[in-house]
Protein backbone atom coordinates (compact mmCIF):
# COMPACT_ATOMS: atom_id res chain seq x y z
CA UNK A 1 0.00 0.00 0.00
CA UNK A 2 1.56 3.28 -1.12
CA UNK A 3 1.49 6.10 1.38
CA UNK A 4 -0.93 8.89 0.43
CA UNK A 5 0.78 12.25 0.80
CA UNK A 6 -1.49 15.26 0.42
CA UNK A 7 0.29 18.52 -0.35
CA UNK A 8 -1.00 21.24 1.99
CA UNK A 9 1.59 23.93 1.27
CA UNK A 10 4.91 24.12 -0.54
CA UNK A 11 6.61 22.82 2.64
CA UNK A 12 3.93 20.76 4.35
CA UNK A 13 2.36 17.39 3.50
CA UNK A 14 -0.31 15.32 5.24
CA UNK A 15 -0.71 11.58 5.75
CA UNK A 16 -4.46 11.32 6.45
CA UNK A 17 -5.51 9.20 9.40
CA UNK A 18 -7.65 7.19 7.01
CA UNK A 19 -4.39 5.68 5.67
CA UNK A 20 -4.40 2.97 8.35
CA UNK A 21 -7.17 1.84 10.66
CA UNK A 22 -6.04 2.70 14.16
CA UNK A 23 -4.43 6.06 13.38
CA UNK A 24 -5.83 8.54 15.90
CA UNK A 25 -4.50 11.68 14.15
CA UNK A 26 -3.10 12.73 10.79
CA UNK A 27 0.61 12.69 10.07
CA UNK A 28 2.23 15.98 9.08
CA UNK A 29 5.59 16.05 7.31
CA UNK A 30 7.56 19.25 6.66
CA UNK A 31 9.36 18.63 3.40
CA UNK A 32 9.43 19.91 -0.19
CA UNK A 33 9.21 18.21 -3.58
CA UNK A 34 12.99 18.25 -3.96
CA UNK A 35 13.38 16.03 -0.87
CA UNK A 36 10.50 13.63 -1.53
CA UNK A 37 12.58 11.17 -3.60
CA UNK A 38 14.91 10.62 -0.62
CA UNK A 39 11.99 9.02 1.25
CA UNK A 40 10.96 6.54 -1.45
CA UNK A 41 13.11 3.67 -0.14
CA UNK A 42 12.90 4.73 3.50
CA UNK A 43 10.28 3.48 5.97
CA UNK A 44 10.23 6.80 7.80
CA UNK A 45 6.83 7.89 6.45
CA UNK A 46 5.26 4.66 7.68
CA UNK A 47 6.82 5.37 11.05
CA UNK A 48 5.06 8.75 11.10
CA UNK A 49 1.79 6.90 10.51
CA UNK A 50 2.55 4.30 13.19
CA UNK A 51 3.23 6.97 15.83
CA UNK A 52 -0.30 8.24 15.18
CA UNK A 53 -1.56 5.04 16.90
CA UNK A 54 -0.19 6.08 20.31
CA UNK A 55 -2.85 6.44 23.04
CA UNK A 56 -3.47 10.06 23.97
CA UNK A 57 -1.71 11.57 20.93
CA UNK A 58 -3.03 15.04 20.09
CA UNK A 59 -3.13 17.16 16.93
CA UNK A 60 -0.67 15.33 14.66
CA UNK A 61 2.19 12.89 14.38
CA UNK A 62 4.89 15.23 13.08
CA UNK A 63 8.14 14.89 11.13
CA UNK A 64 10.74 17.54 10.37
CA UNK A 65 12.61 17.83 7.02
CA UNK A 66 15.65 15.96 8.35
CA UNK A 67 13.38 12.90 8.53
CA UNK A 68 14.88 9.42 8.10
CA UNK A 69 14.26 5.96 9.51
CA UNK A 70 14.93 5.43 13.22
CA UNK A 71 14.04 3.05 16.05
CA UNK A 72 10.27 3.29 16.65
CA UNK A 73 9.90 6.97 15.80
CA UNK A 74 11.64 8.27 12.71
CA UNK A 75 14.54 10.65 13.28
CA UNK A 76 12.90 14.07 13.11
CA UNK A 77 9.73 12.69 14.71
CA UNK A 78 7.59 14.68 17.15
CA UNK A 79 4.50 13.60 19.08
CA UNK A 80 2.64 14.97 22.09
CA UNK A 81 0.29 12.92 24.26
CA UNK A 82 -2.37 14.22 26.65
CA UNK A 83 -1.41 12.95 30.10
CA UNK A 84 -4.90 13.40 31.56
CA UNK A 85 -6.35 11.25 28.77
CA UNK A 86 -4.04 8.26 29.29
CA UNK A 87 -1.27 9.69 27.15
CA UNK A 88 1.79 7.46 26.90
CA UNK A 89 5.54 7.88 26.93
CA UNK A 90 7.66 5.80 24.56
CA UNK A 91 11.46 5.29 24.81
CA UNK A 92 11.46 4.90 21.03
CA UNK A 93 10.18 8.48 20.84
CA UNK A 94 13.28 9.72 22.66
CA UNK A 95 15.99 7.49 21.24
CA UNK A 96 18.99 5.59 22.51
CA UNK A 97 21.29 8.61 22.84
CA UNK A 98 19.14 10.44 25.38
CA UNK A 99 19.70 14.20 25.18
CA UNK A 100 22.04 13.98 22.29
CA UNK A 101 22.27 17.73 21.86
CA UNK A 102 24.37 20.63 20.71
CA UNK A 103 25.82 23.76 22.24
CA UNK A 104 27.39 26.79 20.61
CA UNK A 105 30.20 28.93 22.02
CA UNK A 106 30.90 32.39 20.64
CA UNK A 107 34.34 34.02 20.76
CA UNK A 108 35.79 37.49 20.26
CA UNK A 109 38.23 36.00 17.74
CA UNK A 110 38.11 36.90 14.06
CA UNK A 111 38.97 34.41 11.32
CA UNK A 112 42.24 36.30 10.78
CA UNK A 113 43.27 35.46 14.37
CA UNK A 114 43.37 31.79 13.37
CA UNK A 115 45.74 32.28 10.45
CA UNK A 116 48.42 29.59 10.68
CA UNK A 117 46.86 28.14 13.82
CA UNK A 118 44.12 25.82 12.51
CA UNK A 119 46.20 22.64 12.69
CA UNK A 120 47.42 23.51 16.17
CA UNK A 121 43.84 24.13 17.33
CA UNK A 122 42.44 20.89 15.91
CA UNK A 123 45.34 18.86 17.30
CA UNK A 124 44.88 20.39 20.76
CA UNK A 125 41.16 19.68 20.72
CA UNK A 126 41.71 16.12 19.51
CA UNK A 127 44.23 15.33 22.23
CA UNK A 128 42.48 17.22 25.04
CA UNK A 129 38.88 15.99 24.53
CA UNK A 130 38.55 12.18 24.64
CA UNK A 131 36.70 10.82 21.59
CA UNK A 132 35.89 7.55 19.86
CA UNK A 133 34.06 4.34 20.74
CA UNK A 134 34.36 3.52 24.45
CA UNK A 135 36.36 6.68 25.16
CA UNK A 136 36.95 7.47 28.82
CA UNK A 137 37.65 10.81 30.42
CA UNK A 138 39.61 12.11 33.36
CA UNK A 139 36.39 12.74 35.33
CA UNK A 140 35.98 9.65 37.49
CA UNK A 141 33.04 9.58 39.89
CA UNK A 142 31.90 7.32 42.71
CA UNK A 143 28.39 5.91 42.72
CA UNK A 144 27.26 8.56 45.22
CA UNK A 145 28.80 11.29 43.09
CA UNK A 146 27.09 9.86 40.00
CA UNK A 147 23.76 10.32 41.75
CA UNK A 148 24.54 13.98 42.32
CA UNK A 149 25.57 14.32 38.66
CA UNK A 150 22.27 12.74 37.52
CA UNK A 151 20.22 15.13 39.64
CA UNK A 152 22.18 18.36 39.04
CA UNK A 153 23.43 17.95 35.45
CA UNK A 154 25.52 20.86 34.18
CA UNK A 155 25.33 22.49 37.62
CA UNK A 156 27.26 19.50 39.00
CA UNK A 157 30.03 20.19 36.48
CA UNK A 158 30.10 23.93 37.19
CA UNK A 159 30.27 23.32 40.95
CA UNK A 160 33.45 21.33 40.32
CA UNK A 161 35.14 24.04 38.32
CA UNK A 162 34.07 23.05 34.80
CA UNK A 163 32.63 26.42 33.77
CA UNK A 164 30.76 29.27 35.43
CA UNK A 165 27.19 29.83 36.69
CA UNK A 166 26.56 32.02 33.62
CA UNK A 167 26.84 28.88 31.48
CA UNK A 168 23.78 27.41 33.23
CA UNK A 169 21.56 30.34 32.30
CA UNK A 170 22.07 29.57 28.61
CA UNK A 171 21.20 25.86 28.75
CA UNK A 172 17.76 24.47 28.03
CA UNK A 173 16.29 23.60 31.47
CA UNK A 174 19.32 25.46 32.93
CA UNK A 175 21.21 22.24 32.26
CA UNK A 176 19.17 19.97 34.55
CA UNK A 177 15.64 18.56 34.29
CA UNK A 178 13.79 18.27 37.57
CA UNK A 179 12.54 14.83 38.56
CA UNK A 180 15.64 12.79 37.72
CA UNK A 181 15.57 9.63 39.84
CA UNK A 182 18.92 7.80 40.27
CA UNK A 183 17.08 4.87 41.90
CA UNK A 184 15.47 4.02 38.53
CA UNK A 185 18.91 3.53 36.93
CA UNK A 186 20.44 0.03 36.76
CA UNK A 187 23.84 -1.05 38.05
CA UNK A 188 24.93 -1.68 34.46
CA UNK A 189 24.09 1.92 33.48
CA UNK A 190 25.98 3.21 36.52
CA UNK A 191 28.99 1.19 35.44
CA UNK A 192 28.88 2.45 31.84
CA UNK A 193 28.58 6.08 32.97
CA UNK A 194 31.33 5.94 35.58
CA UNK A 195 34.08 7.36 33.39
CA UNK A 196 32.41 8.91 30.35
CA UNK A 197 31.60 12.43 31.58
CA UNK A 198 33.65 14.82 29.47
CA UNK A 199 33.96 12.52 26.45
CA UNK A 200 32.79 13.11 22.91
CA UNK A 201 31.98 9.50 22.04
CA UNK A 202 31.58 8.19 18.50
CA UNK A 203 29.30 8.23 15.46
CA UNK A 204 27.96 11.63 14.43
CA UNK A 205 29.27 13.39 17.55
CA UNK A 206 31.79 16.15 16.91
CA UNK A 207 33.63 19.28 17.95
CA UNK A 208 33.79 21.92 15.25
CA UNK A 209 35.49 25.31 14.98
CA UNK A 210 33.54 27.51 12.59
CA UNK A 211 33.51 30.99 11.10
CA UNK A 212 30.35 33.04 10.69
CA UNK A 213 29.90 33.24 6.93
CA UNK A 214 26.61 35.12 6.51
CA UNK A 215 24.17 37.03 8.70
CA UNK A 216 20.46 36.85 7.81
CA UNK A 217 18.92 38.72 10.76
CA UNK A 218 21.07 41.65 11.92
CA UNK A 219 18.92 42.48 14.96
CA UNK A 220 18.85 38.91 16.31
CA UNK A 221 22.56 38.52 15.58
CA UNK A 222 23.22 41.65 17.64
CA UNK A 223 21.38 40.20 20.64
CA UNK A 224 23.22 36.89 20.25
CA UNK A 225 26.60 38.63 19.94
CA UNK A 226 27.32 37.31 16.46
CA UNK A 227 29.11 39.05 13.56
CA UNK A 228 30.59 38.13 10.14
CA UNK A 229 34.00 36.44 10.27
CA UNK A 230 33.61 35.59 13.96
CA UNK A 231 34.96 32.29 15.28
CA UNK A 232 32.43 29.94 16.92
CA UNK A 233 32.77 26.48 18.48
CA UNK A 234 30.06 23.82 18.30
CA UNK A 235 29.84 20.76 20.58
CA UNK A 236 27.60 17.85 19.58
CA UNK A 237 27.31 14.85 21.91
CA UNK A 238 24.94 13.21 24.40
CA UNK A 239 24.65 10.82 27.33
CA UNK A 240 27.01 8.22 25.85
CA UNK A 241 26.73 4.56 26.97
CA UNK A 242 24.88 5.64 30.11
CA UNK A 243 21.86 6.87 28.15
CA UNK A 244 22.03 4.00 25.68
CA UNK A 245 21.85 1.47 28.51
CA UNK A 246 18.82 3.19 30.05
CA UNK A 247 16.94 3.25 26.73
CA UNK A 248 17.80 -0.38 25.97
CA UNK A 249 16.50 -1.60 29.33
CA UNK A 250 13.30 0.45 29.33
CA UNK A 251 12.41 -0.51 25.75
CA UNK A 252 12.41 -4.14 26.91
CA UNK A 253 10.48 -3.32 30.10
CA UNK A 254 7.79 -1.46 28.19
CA UNK A 255 7.14 -4.27 25.75
CA UNK A 256 5.35 -5.97 28.65
CA UNK A 257 3.30 -2.81 29.16
CA UNK A 258 1.63 -3.24 25.77
CA UNK A 259 -0.21 -6.27 27.12
CA UNK A 260 -0.61 -4.96 30.67
CA UNK A 261 -2.31 -1.72 29.56
CA UNK A 262 -3.99 -3.18 26.44
CA UNK A 263 -2.12 -0.87 24.08
CA UNK A 264 -2.21 -1.72 20.37
CA UNK A 265 0.54 -0.36 18.14
CA UNK A 266 1.66 -1.67 14.73
CA UNK A 267 5.34 -1.78 15.73
CA UNK A 268 6.73 -3.19 18.98
CA UNK A 269 9.52 -0.62 18.75
CA UNK A 270 6.80 1.83 19.87
CA UNK A 271 6.53 0.04 23.22
CA UNK A 272 5.12 2.53 25.70
CA UNK A 273 3.27 3.01 28.97
CA UNK A 274 0.90 5.69 30.30
CA UNK A 275 2.90 8.63 31.61
CA UNK A 276 1.20 8.31 34.99
CA UNK A 277 1.77 4.54 35.29
CA UNK A 278 4.53 3.13 37.55
CA UNK A 279 6.55 2.15 34.45
CA UNK A 280 6.00 5.55 32.83
CA UNK A 281 7.18 7.37 35.96
CA UNK A 282 10.21 5.08 36.28
CA UNK A 283 11.27 5.72 32.69
CA UNK A 284 10.78 9.48 33.09
CA UNK A 285 13.01 9.44 36.18
CA UNK A 286 15.73 7.47 34.40
CA UNK A 287 15.45 9.44 31.15
CA UNK A 288 15.84 12.72 33.05
CA UNK A 289 18.90 11.30 34.82
CA UNK A 290 20.42 10.52 31.40
CA UNK A 291 19.47 13.95 30.04
CA UNK A 292 21.22 15.58 32.99
CA UNK A 293 24.26 13.34 32.42
CA UNK A 294 24.41 14.68 28.85
CA UNK A 295 24.28 18.31 30.01
CA UNK A 296 27.07 17.60 32.50
CA UNK A 297 29.05 15.93 29.70
CA UNK A 298 28.73 18.91 27.36
CA UNK A 299 29.62 21.27 30.21
CA UNK A 300 32.85 19.39 30.98
CA UNK A 301 33.71 19.36 27.27
CA UNK A 302 33.12 23.12 27.14
CA UNK A 303 35.73 23.53 29.86
CA UNK A 304 38.18 21.34 27.91
CA UNK A 305 37.56 23.34 24.72
CA UNK A 306 38.26 26.59 26.57
CA UNK A 307 41.48 25.11 27.97
CA UNK A 308 42.54 24.06 24.46
CA UNK A 309 42.07 27.59 23.12
CA UNK A 310 43.99 29.01 26.10
CA UNK A 311 46.95 26.77 25.22
CA UNK A 312 46.96 27.87 21.59
CA UNK A 313 46.45 31.62 22.14
CA UNK A 314 48.12 32.02 25.58
CA UNK A 315 45.11 34.00 26.78
CA UNK A 316 42.31 33.26 29.23
CA UNK A 317 39.05 32.07 27.72
CA UNK A 318 37.34 35.06 29.35
CA UNK A 319 39.68 37.43 27.49
CA UNK A 320 38.74 35.64 24.25
CA UNK A 321 35.02 36.04 25.04
CA UNK A 322 34.29 32.29 24.88
CA UNK A 323 30.77 32.52 26.26
CA UNK A 324 27.95 30.03 25.77
CA UNK A 325 25.29 31.15 23.28
CA UNK A 326 22.95 28.26 24.08
CA UNK A 327 22.64 24.49 24.57
CA UNK A 328 19.67 22.53 23.21
CA UNK A 329 18.55 18.90 23.53
CA UNK A 330 17.62 16.75 20.53
CA UNK A 331 16.41 13.43 21.99
CA UNK A 332 14.12 13.97 24.95
CA UNK A 333 10.53 13.79 26.23
CA UNK A 334 9.30 16.72 28.31
CA UNK A 335 6.15 17.61 30.20
CA UNK A 336 4.97 20.92 28.74
CA UNK A 337 1.78 22.96 28.58
CA UNK A 338 0.45 23.69 25.09
CA UNK A 339 -2.84 24.89 23.66
CA UNK A 340 -4.88 22.19 21.91
CA UNK A 341 -8.26 23.13 20.40
CA UNK A 342 -8.25 26.36 22.36
CA UNK A 343 -7.58 24.64 25.70
CA UNK A 344 -4.31 24.53 27.65
CA UNK A 345 -3.25 20.94 28.25
CA UNK A 346 -0.35 19.24 30.01
CA UNK A 347 1.36 17.13 27.38
CA UNK A 348 4.25 14.72 27.14
CA UNK A 349 6.15 16.05 24.13
CA UNK A 350 8.52 13.58 22.44
CA UNK A 351 11.27 15.13 20.33
CA UNK A 352 13.31 12.48 18.55
CA UNK A 353 16.03 14.13 16.47
CA UNK A 354 14.16 17.42 16.80
CA UNK A 355 14.91 20.72 18.54
CA UNK A 356 12.79 22.87 20.82
CA UNK A 357 11.98 26.17 19.09
CA UNK A 358 10.12 28.43 21.53
CA UNK A 359 9.28 31.93 20.34
CA UNK A 360 9.74 35.40 21.88
CA UNK A 361 8.35 36.15 25.35
CA UNK A 362 8.29 32.50 26.39
CA UNK A 363 9.12 32.27 30.10
CA UNK A 364 11.20 29.11 29.53
CA UNK A 365 13.96 30.93 27.64
CA UNK A 366 16.65 33.28 29.06
CA UNK A 367 15.64 36.89 29.67
CA UNK A 368 18.33 38.07 27.24
CA UNK A 369 16.54 36.28 24.39
CA UNK A 370 12.94 37.17 25.27
CA UNK A 371 12.73 39.67 22.42
CA UNK A 372 14.02 37.34 19.68
CA UNK A 373 13.07 33.80 20.71
CA UNK A 374 15.05 30.77 21.83
CA UNK A 375 18.34 30.15 20.01
CA UNK A 376 18.10 27.07 17.76
CA UNK A 377 21.38 25.41 16.75
CA UNK A 378 21.33 23.22 13.63
CA UNK A 379 24.56 21.37 12.78
CA UNK A 380 25.12 20.28 9.21
CA UNK A 381 27.81 17.95 7.92
CA UNK A 382 31.54 18.55 8.23
CA UNK A 383 31.88 19.74 4.64
CA UNK A 384 29.06 22.26 4.27
CA UNK A 385 27.68 24.49 7.01
CA UNK A 386 25.75 24.82 10.26
CA UNK A 387 23.10 27.35 11.29
CA UNK A 388 22.01 29.47 14.19
CA UNK A 389 18.30 30.27 14.18
CA UNK A 390 15.69 31.48 16.67
CA UNK A 391 12.34 29.96 17.61
CA UNK A 392 8.93 31.36 16.70
CA UNK A 393 5.43 31.75 18.11
CA UNK A 394 4.20 29.95 14.99
CA UNK A 395 6.19 26.85 15.95
CA UNK A 396 4.57 26.91 19.39
CA UNK A 397 1.14 26.95 17.72
CA UNK A 398 1.86 24.37 15.04
CA UNK A 399 4.55 21.92 16.22
CA UNK A 400 4.55 22.19 20.03
CA UNK A 401 7.46 24.62 19.64
CA UNK A 402 9.68 22.29 17.59
CA UNK A 403 11.92 22.46 14.53
CA UNK A 404 14.54 20.23 12.84
CA UNK A 405 17.78 19.13 14.54
CA UNK A 406 20.28 18.71 11.70
CA UNK A 407 20.74 17.75 8.08
CA UNK A 408 19.46 14.17 8.31
CA UNK A 409 21.13 11.13 6.79
CA UNK A 410 20.78 10.19 3.13
CA UNK A 411 22.99 7.10 3.23
CA UNK A 412 23.30 4.52 5.96
CA UNK A 413 26.73 4.13 7.53
CA UNK A 414 27.08 0.79 5.72
CA UNK A 415 26.24 2.36 2.36
CA UNK A 416 28.66 5.24 2.99
CA UNK A 417 31.49 2.79 3.64
CA UNK A 418 30.70 0.99 0.37
CA UNK A 419 30.44 4.08 -1.85
CA UNK A 420 32.83 6.72 -0.47
CA UNK A 421 36.63 6.58 -0.70
CA UNK A 422 38.53 7.87 2.33
CA UNK A 423 41.45 9.34 0.37
CA UNK A 424 39.18 11.21 -2.03
CA UNK A 425 37.03 12.52 0.82
CA UNK A 426 40.03 13.83 2.76
CA UNK A 427 41.35 15.51 -0.38
CA UNK A 428 38.01 17.25 -0.94
CA UNK A 429 37.84 18.48 2.65
CA UNK A 430 41.45 19.69 2.51
CA UNK A 431 40.68 21.63 -0.68
CA UNK A 432 37.88 23.37 1.21
CA UNK A 433 40.34 24.31 3.93
CA UNK A 434 38.79 21.94 6.50
CA UNK A 435 41.07 20.01 8.87
CA UNK A 436 39.61 16.76 10.28
CA UNK A 437 40.77 14.51 13.11
CA UNK A 438 39.19 11.23 14.22
CA UNK A 439 40.14 7.98 15.92
CA UNK A 440 39.75 6.05 12.65
CA UNK A 441 39.12 6.32 8.90
CA UNK A 442 35.83 4.46 9.21
CA UNK A 443 34.19 7.21 11.27
CA UNK A 444 35.21 9.91 8.80
CA UNK A 445 33.78 7.99 5.82
CA UNK A 446 30.53 7.20 7.67
CA UNK A 447 30.11 10.91 8.39
CA UNK A 448 31.04 12.17 4.92
CA UNK A 449 29.03 15.12 3.56
CA UNK A 450 27.64 12.86 0.81
CA UNK A 451 25.97 10.71 3.49
CA UNK A 452 23.75 13.64 4.53
CA UNK A 453 21.06 15.84 3.09
CA UNK A 454 22.13 19.39 2.30
CA UNK A 455 21.56 21.31 5.55
CA UNK A 456 20.94 24.47 3.51
CA UNK A 457 17.83 22.84 2.02
CA UNK A 458 16.62 21.52 5.39
CA UNK A 459 17.00 24.90 7.09
CA UNK A 460 15.34 26.65 4.16
CA UNK A 461 12.22 24.55 4.72
CA UNK A 462 11.89 25.22 8.47
CA UNK A 463 12.62 28.91 7.87
CA UNK A 464 9.99 29.27 5.16
CA UNK A 465 7.50 27.14 7.11
CA UNK A 466 7.94 29.52 10.06
CA UNK A 467 9.19 26.89 12.51
CA UNK A 468 12.43 28.83 13.17
CA UNK A 469 14.09 31.90 11.67
CA UNK A 470 17.61 31.99 10.23
CA UNK A 471 20.09 34.22 12.02
CA UNK A 472 23.44 33.17 10.54
CA UNK A 473 25.28 30.45 8.63
CA UNK A 474 28.63 29.11 9.84
CA UNK A 475 31.28 27.27 7.82
CA UNK A 476 33.59 24.62 9.32
CA UNK A 477 37.32 25.29 9.67
CA UNK A 478 38.33 22.21 11.63
CA UNK A 479 36.49 19.19 13.00
CA UNK A 480 37.12 16.51 15.63
CA UNK A 481 34.88 13.53 14.93
CA UNK A 482 33.82 11.04 17.59
Active site residues: 405
CB neighbour burial string for 25-62, b if at least 16 within 10 angstroms, e if fewer: bbbbbbbbeebeebbeeeebbbbbbbbbbbbbbbbbbb
Q: Which helix (H) or strand (E) holds 455?
A: helix 455-464
Under 8 Å between Cβ of 70 and 43:
no
Helix (H, G, I), strand (E, B) or coil at 330: coil
CB-hemisphere CA count at 13 Å for 468?
33
Helix (H, G, I), strand (E, B) or coil at 476: strand
Residues 6+ apart with CB under 8 A from 9: 465
The percent helix, strand, coil of the chain (3-state, each to 5) is 40, 25, 35
How far apart are alpha carbons 282 and 403 in whole angstroms?
Answer: 28
Which residues, listed in sequence order, are joined to residue 326 by a DSSP beta bridge? 104
Radius of gyration for the chain, computed over Cα atoms and rounded to the nearest angstrom: 21
How far apart are alpha carbons 317 and 65 in whole angstroms?
Answer: 36
How would DSSP label each residue in 153-193? THHHHHHTTSS-HHHHHTBGGGG--TT--GGGS-HHHHHHH
How far apart are alpha carbons 183 and 154 in whole angstroms?
Answer: 20
How far apart are alpha carbons 75 and 404 in whole angstroms?
Answer: 10
How far apart are alpha carbons 65 and 68 in whole angstroms?
Answer: 9
Phi/psi of residue 403, nearest 5 degrees: -140, -170
How far apart are alpha carbons 286 and 244 in whole angstroms?
Answer: 11
How far apart are alpha carbons 130 and 219 in whole angstroms?
Answer: 37
How far apart are alpha carbons 60 and 134 in whole angstroms?
Answer: 38
How far apart are alpha carbons 285 and 253 in whole angstroms?
Answer: 14
Which residues, listed in sequence order, are joined to residue 13 by a DSSP beta bridge? 7, 29
How far apart are alpha carbons 117 and 313 in whole angstroms?
Answer: 9
Amino acid sequence: MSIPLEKLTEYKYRIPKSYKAGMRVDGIVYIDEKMLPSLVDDNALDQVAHVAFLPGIVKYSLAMPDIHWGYGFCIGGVAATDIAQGGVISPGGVGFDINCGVRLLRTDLDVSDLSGKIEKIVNNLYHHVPSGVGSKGEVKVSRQEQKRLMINGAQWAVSRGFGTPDDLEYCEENGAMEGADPDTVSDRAYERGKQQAGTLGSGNHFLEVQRVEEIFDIDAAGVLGVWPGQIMVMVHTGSRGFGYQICDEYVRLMRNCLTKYKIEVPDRQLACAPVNSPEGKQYLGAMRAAANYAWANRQVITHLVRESFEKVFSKSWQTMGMDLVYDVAHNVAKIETHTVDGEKKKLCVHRKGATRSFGPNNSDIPSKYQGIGQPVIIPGDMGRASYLLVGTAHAEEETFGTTCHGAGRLKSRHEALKTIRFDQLMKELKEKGIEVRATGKKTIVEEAPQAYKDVNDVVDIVHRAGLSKRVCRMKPLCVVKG
